[in-house]
Amino acid sequence: MNVLALVLVIIGGINWLLVGLFNWDLVGGLFGGMDAAFPRIVYVLVGLAALYCLTLIPKVKR
């Protein structure tokens, strides 16, 4: 579960990088635009993964 959440957060981060630098949405571009159902599902999964990753912060060893 941790690895899946991390992968989704990385995908989301790379997507936001591309939006910020090139105004191009990778997820929307690959799966039919921001208004299509599948990209919206991906965005929700990325957001849920980010929330889950917040619970991992206390477990990180310094």
pLDDT tens digits for range 5-39: 999 999 999 999 999 999 999 988 988 877 888 98
pTM above 0.75, yes or no: yes
Residue 17's domain comprises 2-59
Q: In the chain, how many domains are there?
A: 1
Q: How far apart are CA 21 and CA 6, in angstroms?
A: 22
DSSP code, position 35: T
